[in-house]
Structure 1
Amino acid sequence: MVTRALLVSTVLSAFAASAALAQECKQERAIYADRDGAYELAFEPVGSEAAAVTHRFTVKAVKGELLLDGHIMMGDEVARSIGMVMHNCPEGDVTGEEIAACTVWQGIVYPLDLTGAPAELVPAEGEEAAQRLLLAGFGPALRFSSAWDDGKLSVAPWDVLTYKGCAQ
């Protein structure tokens, strides 16, 4: 029989191992997973192509073919990491209406430490990866989006994503 103290110790050890791994990974290579392992969010380097975009990432369903594109920009009035996740957006010169139609979720991306305390901004490229990310309302937004309508999804992700690994 597993005692409660042993269970708590095991969980804390897993969080400590996750924290140590995230410290070795830079934000632009970090990979996160939702609680059920149904979705992965993977950052990729932005490069110098877009000054307004601070981060790029993809969200994919682990089982299935769905791949969503995302980016983070700085808020205009208050320093916040404003994220957008999009599905099948048109390429090239597009209108605001077209972007709105393909946007699955938009909101603040909060980096969380292991205690759940939020930081103001997602770490910049070259900095240590965040332990966890909170995309408030992401799961419900995906559930009611055009991505769900494609019939490729059957489970919505949790809004908190935990550091899983580092891309090579």
Structure 2
Amino acid sequence: MPQTIRLQPLTAPAFAPFGDVLEARGAPDKIINQGLCGRFHDRAALDFGPEGRAGISVFNAEPRALPYRLEMVERHPEGSQAFLPLHQQPFLVIVAPDAGGRPGQPLAFLTDGAQGINLHRGTWHGVLTPLAAPGLFAVVDRIGPTPNLQEHWFDTAHTVTE
């Protein structure tokens, strides 16, 4: 049976079971660069496993629109994955709890245009989904010799709405 998933704002407490929200909010941890830069220090729990290393890639994703048809989610069992937008546009973040090796009920979050995310290792998530151009993102994830992608296709697609 198809289900509608309502968007909710991306907040650190709501997203905590799935990963880290990367944002510059509140007072910075340090003031650096001759007092002209606030450093929000060590905001993500990066995890690349014993055989992996950190890699930085640039993704250029095509914008999507709401309502959004969610047909598939994926996860990376060998490492975390961080998405840092290279723009000030909101983007869609879809995650699902693990339910015995399969994704549970998906949740949909909308960033505020100044937030990035870091998905914990093994977190079920939708594909990169910008809602406006450009869809440029810096992505920090695992580079290594073992497979690091599992996909799950839903029997019936979900619809994400505002």
TM-score class, shorter = under 0.3
What is the TM-score when the length of structure 2 is the normalising length?
Answer: 0.27
What is the TM-score when the length of structure 1 is the normalising length?
Answer: 0.26
Instruction: Identify the structure with the greater strand proportion.
Output: 2
Structure number with greater CO (CA < 8 Å, separation at least 6) is 2
Instruction: Identify the structure with the greater helix proportion.
Output: 1
